[in-house]
Amino acid sequence: MIGELIGATVFGLLLLGIHRKVIARIQGRPGPPVWQEILHTLKFSFKESWVPRTASRVLFVGIVLVAIAIWVAAFQVVLAGGSLLILFGIYMLHKIVEHGFGLSSGSPYGKFGGVRSVISAASEIPLFVSIAGIVLLTGSLLISDIEAWQAVHGPLLYALPLAALAMYLVLLSKMPWGPFSIVESKEIVSGYKTEHFGIWRAGLEVCNGLKTSVLLYSFIVVFLGPLPLLWVLLLMLGIQVSLSFACALTPMLAPFDSVTVQSLVAGALLLYFLALGVVL
């Protein structure tokens, strides 16, 4: 268990490094080496660290622990074939964690990032719409049941391509430097994580690595079913590169445009699944 956890964290950081590299190459820059995010984590962990004078000490430190803990929990849920509702609840919880990061430091940039994380919770709406479609078809919320359904009927991707699209949009909304990354855009410095540096940022990097692995792995398990490990790793890499292309080729939306686009997609999908429910 601990081996898988550390492996998932390091692989997630490697995928984030590849994400940066792909974006850089598309934009005509050499970009950092693919293991940059792993080096980044180590670098921050060696640095001198303190808590800003205006910060709430308990929240400032505690939120880093919570950020890592929720993604460890999400990883356990996926591995154990637990409920999609818990998993997607954790995705929502991450927005509250970002909010906590932003508000804990007392920095105006952190606060702006925190407020934007609440606004961008709209990005999770497609997630719940996609759950509706999955339950309609498979009759269960348990990942293990969904895997068993796919073993008989084939991948959910073919049966519910629009649910997969909704989930893909959620993945895109959680990728850094993407069209929906309003919580950490440059006009608010680094957004919610502006003041978390040194070992606190290293902790956040651990969280991000694990988050990336969980997001991609859960997408594969839910929409493609159980696969051999090598295939899972290759597919994670493939999906990550496709997300990197999407991030590199689309400009970052303004906060309200970001919410509007995601809400419109969720609304369209809701209508589709309502129609599907009537037909089924």
Partner 1 sequence: MEKTAALGIAIACGAAMGLASVGAAAGRVPPVLAGGVLILAFPVGALALFRWWCAGEGEEDIPFLGY
Distance CA 4, CA 18 (A): 20
Query: What mask of x and - would describe binding to partner 1 in positions 57 to 76, judged by CB under 8 A?
Result: ----x--xxxxxx--xx--x
**Per CB under 8 A, does 110 bind partner 1?**
yes
Quickly count: other Cβ atoms within 10 Å of residue 176's Cβ.
15
Q: Does 39 bind partner 1 (CB under 8 A)?
A: no
Give me the least distance between CB of 52 and partner 1, in Å please: 5
Least distance (Å) from partner 1 to the CB of residue 261? Answer: 30
- Residues of this chain, 167-206, that bind partner 1 according to CB under 8 A: 189, 194-195, 198-199, 202-203, 206
Our CB check for partner 1 shows the closer of 105 and 138 to be 105
Question: Which of 106, 176, 226, 255 touches partner 1 by CB under 8 A?
Answer: 106
Residues contacting residue 245 through CB under 8 Å, at least 6 positions apart: 22, 26
Q: How far is the CB of 112 from partner 1 (least distance, A)?
A: 12
Instruction: Rule CB under 8 A: say whether 109 interacts with partner 1.
Output: yes
Among positions 26, 35, 45, 242, the unique one binding partner 1 when judged by CB under 8 A: 45
Cα 173 to Cα 194: distance, rounded to the nearest angstrom: 20
Q: Tokens in use for 187? A: 């006009």
Contacts of 228 (CB under 8 A, 6+ apart): none
Our CB check for partner 1 shows the closer of 76 and 140 to be 76
Question: Are the beta carbons of 73 and 221 closer than 8 angstroms?
Answer: no
**The 3-state secondary structure of 183-209, one letter per residue:** HHCHHHCCHHHCCCCHHHHHHHHHHHH
Q: Does 242 bind partner 1 (CB under 8 A)?
A: no
For residue 228, CA distances in Å to 9, 54, 155, 211, 221 come to: 19, 50, 15, 21, 11
Q: Is 54 in the site for partner 1 (CB under 8 A)?
A: yes
Out of 5, 34, 142, 162, which residue is the one contacting partner 1 (CB under 8 A)? 5
- DSSP letter at 121 equals G
- How many residues interact with partner 1 (rule CB under 8 A)? 40
235 close to 220: Cβ distance less than 8 angstroms:
yes
Which one of 33, 50, 274, 275 is in contact with partner 1 (CB under 8 A)?
A: 50
Q: Which stretch binds partner 1 (CB under 8 A): 104-112, 158-166, 234-242, 269-277?
A: 104-112
| Six-digit token string for 242 | 């496709």
The least CB distance from residue 113 to partner 1, in Å, is 12
| Residue 50 or 231 having the CB closest to partner 1 | 50
The three-state secondary structure class of 142 is strand
Phi/psi at 90 (nearest 5 deg)? -65, -35
Compute the least distance from the CB of residue 265 to partner 1, in Å.
Answer: 32
The site for partner 1 (CB under 8 A) is made up of 1-3, 5, 45-55, 61, 64-69, 72-73, 76, 80, 105-110, 189, 194-195, 198-199, 202-203, 206
